[in-house]
Amino acid sequence: MKLEAFVKLAVVLSSPVFALATVIAQRAERASFFFPVSGDFGLFEPSDHVWTLIFMLTLISDPAFTDNVTGGAWADAYAKAVAVVAEMTIEEKVNLTTNKSSSTIEKPTAMVSKEPALRKKLSKRVPAGTTEDTRQFSQGGEDTPRTTQLTGSGVHIAFAPVTGGPLGRSPLDGRNWEGWFVDPYATGIASYLSVKGIQDSGVAAVAKHYIGYEQETFRNPYGDLESYSVFPVNEQLPISSDIDDKTTHEVYLWSFAEAVRAGISHVMCSCNEVNQTFSCNNAYTLNHLLKNELNFQGAVISDWGAQHNNIESVFGGLDVSMPGNVFGGLLGDFWGDNLVADVKNGSVPEYLLDQRVYRVLMPYYHLGQNTTPLPEVIYNANVGYYDQVDRTRNVRQPTTPALIRAIGNSGLTLLKNTGGLPLSLGPDSRVAVLGTDATDNSVGPDGCGAVYESCPTNNINGTLTLGGGSGYAYAPYVVTPLDAIKARAYEDGFEVAPILRDTDVEATVEDILPISNATIVFVSRYSREGEDLTNLTLNRDGDALVAAAVNQSSNVIVVMHTTGVVDIEAWADHENVTAIIAAFLPGMETGNSLADVLFGDVAPSGKLPFTWGKSIDDYPFDQPNTIVSDPVYAPQSNFTEGVFIDYRWFDKHDITPRYEFGFGLSYTTFEYSDIAINTTGQVDTFAIQQTAEPFEAWDGTNSLYDVLFTVIATIKNTGDYTGSEVAQLYVSLPGDDQPVRVLRGFDKVKNIAPRACATATFDVRRKDVSIWSVERGLWYVPDDEITISVGASSRNLPLVSTPGLSSRFLQHLSIFLWQTTTWKSS
């Protein structure tokens, strides 16, 4: 029996059956382990799909793989969508699922945006993530910079936030800089707040990239678009992320659940395969996990180049084909007229098409985009920086620069300080500034010249403010570090001696550095979408630049603008390196943010959102540091480290990092004391859309996200500077297959005066102390004792409590939760 015949028979028998059957059949096409490969089968050869069909007939009524579109919290929008769809033709329905508009609903073409032109260049993953300030994650609501610019440009759908794809499994991933933390809990909190902030303004958010999208190499088989391309067009499969069930739930699905709770309008399925099935027609991950288990009611949108078929993607759970049948088929030519024909000839039941359209329309109605139209669409995504300026509109706000500056300075992470900072320079002082990362780009408007996709490392690119690829944005201006240092020199009277080269500096530094009070060396490391790193080395021989400085100066301050971890072992411990700042990607106010910290106006308070290893070999090594690069037909990335990513891996294998997850110094010091646990439960009032995640103690009235207990700790500022501290809570769950500890809370306590005390508060939810059972397919609180630790980083946890928080106690506690109606926000 051929695949085509199998498809037709499965459709006739049961379309829900086909959803899962397609997954198994596709895997069977190239996975010999699924069927027996030896023996006498008579008419049934190993390549046949009869075995799959027989198995699927036993599941003909199983609802777990159906679309599950009910509206949920969007009941009114669902009713409106159903009524409108009933009046639409097949062609109009298909138009709405293939990146087009429909005259029936008088809906203009939906404007989608990754980065609007002439927008303010905001901070990306770092330092926004390093601030660990929940208020800054949600800077997207009404009258806040991000969505003011989006709505001002007429954007209906913003392709943000990056909700865990990539999460940051490998430090070599070229796209890590677009996300938040290498931790599912923290990324989940950031995603929830970001989604809510965006959608509060009436703009639809998109959680991406779903799921297991953890490398750029081999992500796209559509020809030689990427630097890794070896095979001819469509002769190589995308990289397959092979992930077990426990890891899927406890690591990679976690943050998407939080996005659903925030009422996310759209989810973007990723370019990779998951367990050898294309992400955008994977019935298990889309229909079962996302639409049933997480109860997602919005539309699944394909990433550009992530769709690979017509019929299978309908049954597999895709709702919108992006970018549609455009670009001359460069990224595929699916749906459109193809889907119209498939519906009319019966290959795709029309009710499945209707469900796709319901999901497209519900966010549109729920967010009021039909009753409160956005401004005229003026942003043209297909033009360059210098082209068609009349097609852009200045949507900048006067208050935005101050916010960008504040996010930048609160996210700067001080990694070392033996007396180099803060700087105190008077009229008789001189500061030397080394490196091209301190100044303007010589060939374009900012960090990467006129071509945003690529930032050549052999070019003088100026100070690095963002990574590259589709998440890049041109800035209207950039305040460089040198600009800001000169402005401070104008005020305070000290001299500035810039040496704006990265190589051949020895002769110059011999003259300048010995007569300078301090030397600030600027180094960088760039990465971008479409290409993974091959090492963690600084660009433009940054190690040599630092070496030249420390040979001539005893007070060298190193400032790093990077997209993630870099190797600094050659000089990190050098006695002449008196301070190290990880400034990451601060955006257009980069210089002002840095100057605030350098000169002591603001005490640094950033914390690392990942573990900073000493070597690439410190990270999971079952594969070449988790990036698969062997050019084979069906590349496989086996997530054999399981739940042990980042700090969990370092803890499990007792590896000492350069700097641990959550680490960051200040100009002051803090003391932790007086941990206390309040076991008064509180019901979940934060879910805008409830998930349907199964858990052991469910009684019909409670939630996996109910607060079971609250932890309180005292933080005292024992130093001489006013400072802010990010207190962190970790949970240790019993079991040999569990990490030593997992982050389950953080609270940024701001502006603590010298000798003053403040309180950090952590609400711990049922899910936060639960484990996923693969055997039972649900979350459960373990029977043995749970340990709570609080402190300044993942390896600096002075407060530890084991207060008998066992499964029996917590399940008994849950019966009282319905009586509680408030939840104190942290």
DSSP conformation class of 83: H
Q: Is the pLDDT of residue 172 over 70?
A: yes
Task: Quickly state the pLDDT bin for 251 (edges 50, 70, 90).
Answer: very high
Task: Kindly state the percentage of the chain with pLDDT values over 70.
Answer: 77
Side-chain-facing half-sphere of 26: CA atoms under 13 Å? 26
Position 11 scores a pLDDT of: 39
Q: Is residue 648 part of a domain?
A: no
Q: Is the pLDDT of residue 135 over 60?
A: no
Position 19 scores a pLDDT of: 40
Q: Is residue 15 part of a domain?
A: yes
Task: Quickly state the pLDDT bin for 450 (edges 50, 70, 90).
Answer: very low
The CATH number covering residue 289 comes to 3.20.20.300
Q: Are residues 217 and 342 in the same domain?
A: yes
Q: What is the average pLDDT value for the chain, to the nearest integer? A: 84
Q: Is the pLDDT of residue 681 over 70?
A: yes
Position 636 scores a pLDDT of: 95
Q: Are residues 270 and 199 in the same domain?
A: yes
Q: Give whole-number Cα distances, 631 to 32, 239, 275, in Å.
A: 21, 10, 18
Residue 656 structure tokens: 């000492």
CB neighbourhood size of 775 (10 A): 6
Task: Quickly state the pLDDT bin for 451 (edges 50, 70, 90).
Answer: very low
Position 444 scores a pLDDT of: 59
Strand ranges, E, within 104-246: 112-113, 157-158, 204-210, 240-242
Which residues form the domain of 805? Answer: 668-819
Q: Are residues 44 and 92 in the same domain?
A: no
Q: Are residues 445 and 511 in the same domain?
A: yes
The CATH number covering residue 788 comes to 2.60.40.10
Quick: pLDDT tens for 565-612. Answer: 999 999 999 999 999 999 999 989 999 999 999 999 999 999 999 999
Residues contacting residue 456 through CB under 8 Å, at least 6 positions apart:
none
Across the range 141-166, mean pLDDT stands at 77
Q: Is the pLDDT of residue 738 over 80?
A: yes
Task: Kindly state the percentage of the chain with pLDDT values over 90.
Answer: 66
Bridge partners, 231 (sequence order): none
Across the range 542-552, mean pLDDT stands at 97
Across the range 34-61, mean pLDDT stands at 35
Domain end (from 578, 602, 626): 602
Q: Is residue 661 part of a domain?
A: no
Across the range 772-787, mean pLDDT stands at 95
Distance from C-alpha of 804 to C-alpha of 802, rounded to nearest angstrom:
6
Angle between helices 350-366 and 75-85 (to 10 degrees): 130
Across the range 414-427, mean pLDDT stands at 97
Contact 136, 407 (CB under 8 A): yes
- What three-state secondary structure class fits 597? helix
Q: Are residues 429 and 467 in the same domain?
A: yes
Task: Quickly state the pLDDT bin for 41 (edges 50, 70, 90).
Answer: very low
Residue scoring higher pLDDT (373 or 451): 373
Residue 567 structure tokens: 């190797």
Position 100 scores a pLDDT of: 59
Quick: pLDDT tens for 619-656. Answer: 997 777 789 988 889 999 999 999 999 999 999 999 99
Q: Which residue, among 376, 281, 373, 360, has the nearest Cα to 92 in the 3D structure?
A: 360
Q: Is residue 662 part of a domain?
A: no
Q: Are residues 728 and 774 in the same domain?
A: yes
What's the total number of domains in the chain?
4
Task: Quickly state the pLDDT bin for 42 (edges 50, 70, 90).
Answer: very low
Position 153 scores a pLDDT of: 77
Q: Are residues 188 and 316 in the same domain?
A: yes
Q: Is the pLDDT of residue 734 over 50?
A: yes
CB neighbourhood size of 14 (10 A): 17
Distance from C-alpha of 526 to C-alpha of 620, rounded to nearest angstrom:
22
Q: Which residue, among 116, 263, 189, has the nearest Cα to 748 in the 3D structure?
A: 189
Quick: pLDDT tens for 76-109. Answer: 999 999 999 999 999 999 999 997 555 555 444 4
Q: Is residue 609 part of a domain?
A: no
Position 181 scores a pLDDT of: 96
Quick: pLDDT tens for 804-817. Answer: 766 656 665 554 44
Q: Are residues 286 and 430 in the same domain?
A: no
Across the range 457-471, mean pLDDT stands at 75
Q: Is residue 26 part of a domain?
A: yes
Q: Are residues 688 and 748 in the same domain?
A: yes
Residues contacting residue 291 through CB under 8 Å, at least 6 positions apart:
67, 68, 69, 297, 317
Across the range 413-439, mean pLDDT stands at 97
Position 51 scores a pLDDT of: 37
Q: Is the pLDDT of residue 824 over 90?
A: no
Position 141 scores a pLDDT of: 43
Q: Which residue, among 320, 332, 400, has the nearest Cα to 156 in the 3D structure?
A: 320
Q: Is the pLDDT of residue 198 over 70?
A: yes
Across the range 143-147, mean pLDDT stands at 57
Q: Is the pLDDT of residue 237 over 70?
A: yes
- What three-state secondary structure class fits 353? helix
Quick: pLDDT tens for 293-308. Answer: 999 999 999 999 899 9
Q: Are residues 438 and 560 in the same domain?
A: yes
Q: Is the pLDDT of residue 821 over 50?
A: no
Residue scoring higher pLDDT (110 or 583): 583
pTM above 0.85, yes or no: yes
Contact 226, 219 (CB under 8 A): yes
Residues labelled catalytic: 303
Burial of 34 per CB tally in 10 Å (0-12, 13-18, 19+): middle
Quick: pLDDT tens for 710-722. Answer: 999 999 999 999 9
Q: Which residues of 50-78 are buried (b: 16+ CB within 10 A; e: fewer)?
A: ebbbeebeebeeeebbbbbbebbebeebb
Domain end (from 356, 375, 394): 375
Domain end (from 550, 569, 602): 602
Quick: pLDDT tens for 520-535. Answer: 999 999 998 888 999 9
Position 469 scores a pLDDT of: 82
Position 397 scores a pLDDT of: 81
Q: Are residues 361 and 482 in the same domain?
A: no
Position 180 scores a pLDDT of: 92
The CATH number covering residue 560 comes to 3.40.50.1700
Task: Quickly state the pLDDT bin for 514 (edges 50, 70, 90).
Answer: very high
Across the range 423-431, mean pLDDT stands at 96
User: What's the residue count for the chain?
Assistant: 826
Position 550 scores a pLDDT of: 98
Q: Is the pLDDT of residue 35 over 60?
A: no
Q: Is the pLDDT of residue 17 over 50?
A: no
Residues contacting residue 662 through CB under 8 Å, at least 6 positions apart:
607, 608, 647, 726, 728, 743, 746, 792, 793, 794
Distance from C-alpha of 800 to C-alpha of 797, rounded to nearest angstrom:
7
Position 150 scores a pLDDT of: 78
Q: Are residues 35 and 97 in the same domain?
A: no
Instruction: Tell me the residue type at 275.
Output: N
Angle at alpha carbon of residue 801, lines to 795 and 806, rounded to 5°: 115
Residues contacting residue 643 through CB under 8 Å, at least 6 positions apart:
246, 247, 250, 251, 737, 738, 739
Task: Quickly state the pLDDT bin for 122 (edges 50, 70, 90).
Answer: low
Q: Is the pLDDT of residue 509 over 90?
A: yes
Q: Is residue 233 part of a domain?
A: yes
Q: Is the pLDDT of residue 682 over 80?
A: yes
Position 825 scores a pLDDT of: 30
Residue 672 structure tokens: 């932790």
Quick: pLDDT tens for 311-355. Answer: 999 999 999 999 876 666 777 789 999 999 999 999 999 999 999
Q: Is residue 548 part of a domain?
A: yes
Distance from C-alpha of 473 to C-alpha of 119, rounded to nearest angstrom:
8
Residue 105 structure tokens: 């609903």
Contact 255, 184 (CB under 8 A): yes
